[in-house]
Amino acid sequence: MSIYSVLFLFFFLPIALAVYYLADDRIKEYVLLFISLFFYAIGSLEYIVKFLFCLAVNVFIGRSIHAAVNKMTKRLLFVLGVLFNAGVLIYYKYSDFVVENINTVSGTHLPLFQLALPLGISFFTFKSISYLTDIYTQKAVLNDNPVHDALYLSFFPQIQSGPLTRYNDMVFPAELKGQKSASFTLFSDGVFRFLIGFNKKVLLADVLSKITTEIFSSPVESCTASYAWLGSVCYSLQLFFDFAGYSDMAIGLSEMFGYQCMENFHYPYLTESVSGFWRRWHISLSEWFRDYIYIPLGGSRCKNKLLVYRNLFVVWLLTGIWHGASWNFVFWGLGYFVLISFERMTKFPQRFKHRYSRILYRVFTLIFINCQWVIFRSKTLESGFQFLKVMFFNRQNDTTADLRTGVLLKEYSVFLLAAVLFCFPVAKWIEGRLRPRKKLSVVYEALAAVVTLGLFVCAISFIVAGNNNPFAYANF
């Protein structure tokens, strides 16, 4: 069950909210844990027992690390916990990839496992490792109730595609502390945030996916440069609104149940550099790799500067592999390693003295990111290179593909314009300009609420008509 489906919106969510808020304060977390597990069972029934087992193992090891007195015992439990989680992820996500490469290299014909991915396995694994690590390093402040730990690991708004929140960030709801007004404000903010994300996903990402699906499904030899560029740019926009839309919905749902959630996107296409892009895109993942891989390896403080680049290499290799079991994801991750290392060595773009140099580098950055998304979107590394070749070196003059480019631009012009426009903080800019004028600010907020609700109704009609697609990160 997806969080933007009719079943979720009009049945699961209202019932879940009613049951949660009608429950006694002392059992609210138990109720929410049951709701989260029920949500997981609906989405991945075949794996619910295994999920419960992994959940129990992580909570048991986490609590055992916390209770252990001997340092060696703590370390042993921590290592076992990390190996357990990594082993589960490798088995389900990468076993076929390993077997395929063994068969290719050795010429054998070992059978593939062909395992379906459990719901949100990559995100669950990373949250579990952060949970165990924070307990081991004494950064996590555990309460007396292990149900809170289980809820943190299985919280249904975040189980599918994050954000990768930390244990300490999942604070007990304000309502349970008697702060009723704060709880109501958080709930209303959550509803509005959910609607914003829903509209991003359905009205922008899903509409743009029609263009990208058509273009990326077309034979490469029949594509022209204009047709390929349209597909790549639309996919860059689609992926942003898809994932940022999910994050908005997850944050909104978390707030509806009284829990604050970290931001995951901050207008990433406003970036001035490649490294800056990853401080704006999927922020929770970037911070996870920084805190649990990069810094433990030595980070930027290594006396030998070569070790710094080794650390970056490990981080971006793992980032690529985490996104998918395919060589194009490995290449995608290492592409960022090369450019971020280049920026580190050259101090670009900070060292530029002229404004035009910064503008040119920003253009280069956006083109590079766009090309990276082509590799990310392609089924194989070879097909990604072929698509990029058409974008930059195509010389054929196929009027059919060029005419189709024009048709798509005309047909989806409103959606494309809106997608480009809302990549920028337009709403925040307007709010900032109107804030000193209280009456206009109130009018704007009321108008924004009406427009958001109206767009939500339109988005619902799209869902009912079947004009929607699964989340791009749904299988993680």
For the segment 182-187, the average pLDDT, to the nearest whole number, is: 81
Percent of the chain topping pLDDT 70: 95
> How would residue 2 be classed by pLDDT, with cut points 50, 70 and 90?
confident
For the segment 94-106, the average pLDDT, to the nearest whole number, is: 93
> How would residue 399 be classed by pLDDT, with cut points 50, 70 and 90?
confident
| Distances in whole angstroms, Cα of residue 63 to Cα of each of 136, 146, 151, 366 | 10, 8, 14, 45
Nearest to 171 by CA among 247, 254, 248, 252: 254
Alpha carbon 140 to its chain's center: 24
Alpha carbon 121 to its chain's center: 13
- Nearest-angstrom CA–CA distance, 336 and 319: 10
Given this model, what pLDDT does residue 176 score? 46
Question: Domain ranges in the chain?
Answer: 6-170, 187-273+348-464
Q: Over 80: is that where the pLDDT of 181 sits?
A: no
Q: Outline where 44-179 has alpha helix (H).
A: 48-67, 71-89, 95-106, 121-136, 146-154, 156-159
HSE value, Cβ hemisphere, 13 Å, CA-based, for 180: 1
Structure tokens at 158: 């975040």
Q: How many CB atoms lie within 10 A of CB 204?
A: 23
Structure tokens at 196: 């914003």
Given this model, what pLDDT does residue 139 score? 94
Active-site position among 66, 266, 282, 323: 323
- Nearest-angstrom CA–CA distance, 121 and 36: 15
Distant-in-sequence, close-in-space partners of 211: CB < 8 Å, separation ≥ 6 = 230, 231, 234, 408, 412
User: What are the tens digits of pLDDT across the range 421-471?
Assistant: 999 998 888 888 887 888 888 888 899 999 999 999 999 998 988 766 777
Alpha carbon 163 to its chain's center: 6
Given this model, what pLDDT does residue 175 score? 47
- Nearest-angstrom CA–CA distance, 248 and 152: 18
Q: Are 37 and 48 in contact (CB under 8 A)?
A: yes
Higher pLDDT pick, 172 / 61: 61
> How would residue 32 be classed by pLDDT, with cut points 50, 70 and 90?
very high
* pTM of the predicted model as reported, rounded to 2 decimal places: 0.93
Please provide the DSSP assignment of 182-218 as one string.
HHHHHHHHHHHHHHHHHHIIIIIIHHHHHHHHHHHHS
**Catalytic residue flag (residue 323):** yes
- Mean pLDDT value across the chain: 92
| Distances in whole angstroms, Cα of residue 202 to Cα of each of 110, 373, 472 | 42, 20, 13
